[in-house]
Chain A
């Protein structure tokens, strides 16, 4: 899928550029893009390091356990009968995601998925977990804030509140949709 997107962007861009007599300009855009990409990552690296450092402090101070405890009951309600161990991996994955510690979240998510799987068909609980996970419950969108800072935005943090609302809407809708679909026979 991503292959096609990449091919369309680059291939069609180059082709259309050549056709409209902008061959040189599109090639220099290619070079400029790569160069800007490096500069951008360098600008963002410091900000992301600081955010991840702060989030790590929160996580070490026991915020992760608090989040786990808060999420436990609603998740048990949403996912039905699941092994205790699976539920703790789910909560750990979601709280790591909330804090934006993606590297810590993935292994937990894999453990959770393994324990929730039911043969080669996804169980209702696994679908629910994946949908909640994919609707991204992030408290601090650090990459976006970093990007806005790199561009010198007046209010880099302006995305935080609307982001939380949008995330909340998306997660809620995902859960409802999942609850509704899991009873349907056609999936």
Chain B
């Protein structure tokens, strides 16, 4: 429902503003296809690695190890590896969300939480490195620390608003 209303709004608003609706849409769609195709190799490789990690039984062992701690704060242990991966790699994190959905079902709390965490933070190390090297800056000062703190706050926010 929300998504249809949103789509109609975009279309109607563009029409009112006399935007070339078809050309604009195709332009955007091209970008979407390019993004999806761009992440294919890294997503594929990461998903393969995560499946091996999962199948070997290591993930289960790790979750069992973490469970006593995470249980107390209302955090499913399955989501912890994702929280560690998110600042490092976008496709790695996406592959982990995929793995959680596969394992727990797309409508489970684990999947919702994973999705919210995925959407509410960024690939901190990668984006910061790109911008800093473009600006030829060597000392990032407090950037990484603050970005990680923000990411952590986002995780806590995600746990609080996914009961």
In whole angstroms, what is the CA distance A6 to B154 when docked? 25
CB-based contact B150/A49 at 8 Å: no
What residues of chain A lie closer than 8 Å to B75, measured between beta carbons? none
Contact between B56 and A22 (Cβ–Cβ < 8 Å)? yes
**Contact partner, A57, options B3, B10, B44, Cβ 8 Å:** B10
Scan B66-90; emit 1 where CB is below 8 A from any A CB, else 0.
0000000000000000000100110
B: number of interface residues (CB 8 Å): 98
Told that A29-B55, A57-B24, A173-B154 touch, could you supply 17 new A-B pairs with CB distance under 8 A?
A1-B125, A16-B57, A22-B56, A29-B48, A29-B56, A30-B48, A33-B49, A56-B31, A112-B131, A117-B136, A127-B146, A159-B115, A162-B116, A162-B158, A163-B116, A167-B119, A177-B146
Q: Are B153 and A57 in contact (CB under 8 A)?
A: no
For A16, A112, A122, which residue has the most chain B Cβ atoms within 10 angstroms? Answer: A122
Neighbouring A residues of B6 by C-beta, 8 Å: 54, 140
Contacts of A41 in B (CB 8 A): 36-37, 39-40, 43-44
Size class of the contact patch on chain A: 35 or more
Q: Which secondary structure characterizes the binding site on chain A?
A: helix
B58 near A12 with CB under 8 A, answer: yes
The closest CB in chain B to the CB of A133 belongs to B127
- B residues 1-39 near A (Cβ < 8 Å) are 2-3, 6-7, 10-11, 13-14, 16-17, 19-21, 24-37, 39
Cβ of A136 within 8 Å of any chain B Cβ, yes or no, is: yes
* Contact yes or no, A174 B51, CB < 8 A: no
